[in-house]
Chains A and B, each alone.
Chain A
Amino acid sequence: MILINYIAAFALIALGFYCMAVKKNLIKICIGMGIADYGANLLIVSVGFHDGGTAPIFTIGELTRASFFVDPVPQALTLTSIVIGACTTAMTLSLIIRLKEKYGTLNSDEIRRLRG
């Protein structure tokens, strides 16, 4: 089961890199950054997952003798990763807004050409 998670994570990362490298539209490049970011998040969470484990919370009414926890550390790291991803996306989008205002286009080739 966990194999699907890993394959999906690497597929997402490759898809994000493909978007960033091939697409000319700046918004699509930003989306590619986001997709690669989510792939990395999925990878980190999957590393700590264990088949049959529950969330590492001591809600004692719902836990039984047989239940056990998954690794809490990757989840905490993912929290950091998500916040950083959101911050970089916000910065990128504001840069794109400025570029669109200045050059009137979102095509990265045309922006480079206008600079000379």
Chain B
Amino acid sequence: MNRKKISSLVLAASLAVILICGAASAVQMALGAPTYDGSGTDVTALYEHPESYDNSAADGVAAVMVNENMEKTAAKNVVYSVVFNYRGYDTLGESFILIGAIAGTMAILRREKRAPKQVVDYAGRGFGETAAQAKTDPPVVSAGAAPEGGRYRRRPLIMRCGCDFLLPLAAVYGWYIVLHGAISPGGGFQGGVLAAGTVLLVYLAYGLTGVRRVFHGGFLHASETLAEILYVFIALMGIFEGVNFCFNFVLSGTEETAMLMNDAVGYHVMAGICCLLILMLEALNTDRAEEQQTE
């Protein structure tokens, strides 16, 4: 009891310290100048004549990046050129973090194959299952037993109709954000996650059976690697022109290459998050529990 009291006292004291330090530094930071004072930059002149813009007064890394952006990368979105050109290595590592997270989740959620039925349930489309296994074990068609409603457990009508209506919108909107990222806020990371949200819509409407039939987990997992290779390939194209990794390799300077890397990252994130969601939904295993209940 006494020990508990002491620990809660320590906790309260540390939380108070965090709050007080936070408030003090908040006031300090709000009074100070912003990290980058952009008001001295003539944006229109910078856009129209990037070569002749006077860059001598630039102080700080952000000012240099903004002033040199149009001339060196030709990207209209400065955040984009920072992410894909100036900090290209960082984005590469970030994509590898996503791959690592998915590999870790796969390793944690991996289940031993106990009964053959659990293996065949995937019908040759699941993770970690070879084609030979799928061939030797004939797929169990669970729908054969069900008199009506096909393979799916009947979901509520409103859910199905709503998801049928929203599915194309979600997919198109996600890819709109990815492809439009060069000239508007958004881009590969955000749009990829939005496009991957379609997995959840399919799950809501058609259950885990629907997700398994529509999405090919192995293909999505391979897509991740493909997108990563694509990113490195596009970034490496510059070395044939004699410039650095992630540099804008189009020599004319009017086209941006960040857009291509952005698309690769969008593909990567979409495939990766789809993989994650499918893994987690399969771990929840709701359909099998429902089937057992009805049986």
Contact = CB atoms under 8 A, between A and B. Distances in A.
Contacts of A70: 34, 36, 38
Interface in B173-205: 183-185, 189, 193
A10 B25 contact: yes
- Give the interface size class of chain A: 35 or more
A68 B41 contact: yes
Main secondary structure of the interface of A (DSSP, over half): helix
A69 B39 CA distance: 7
Interface in A14-45: 14, 17-18, 21-22
B18 A13 contact: yes
Contacts of B280: 90, 93-94, 97
Contact of A58 (B42, B43, B61): B43
B109 A6 contact: no
Interface string A1-15: 011001101110110
Given A9-B26, A94-B105, A94-B109, A50 B11 contact: no
A7 B35 CA distance: 18
Contact of A50 (B23, B38, B100, B284): B38
A57 B183 CA distance: 7
A47 B104 contact: no
B78 A87 contact: no
B11 A21 contact: yes
Nearest to B33: A50
A48 interface: yes
A55 B142 CA distance: 53
Interface in B263-295: 269, 273, 276, 279-280, 283-284
Interface residues of B, number: 60
B157 interface: no
Interface string A73-101: 11110011011101110110111011000
B34 A6 contact: no
A83 B98 contact: yes
B87 interface: yes
Contacts of B276: 90
Contacts of A50: 34, 36-39
B83 interface: yes
B23 A75 contact: no
Contacts of A53: 38-39
Contacts of B102: 90
Given A18-B15, A84-B97, A91-B105, A59 B34 contact: no
A30 to B, nearest CB: 13
A58 B70 contact: yes
Contacts of B104: 91, 94
Contact of B66 (A46, A69, A98): A69
B129 interface: no
Contact of B15 (A14, A68, A69, A95): A14
B18 A84 contact: no
A56 B193 CA distance: 23
Contact of A87 (B19, B46, B100, B183): B100
Interface in B49-64: 61-62
Nearest to B108: A94
A72 interface: yes
Given A50-B38, A97-B280, 19 more contacts: A17-B15, A21-B15, A48-B36, A48-B62, A53-B39, A56-B79, A57-B79, A60-B44, A60-B47, A65-B44, A69-B38, A70-B36, A72-B65, A72-B66, A76-B87, A79-B83, A94-B105, A97-B284, A98-B109
16 contacts: A3-B27, A6-B26, A10-B18, A10-B22, A13-B18, A47-B34, A50-B36, A58-B47, A58-B70, A68-B40, A69-B36, A69-B41, A71-B35, A71-B62, A83-B189, A97-B284
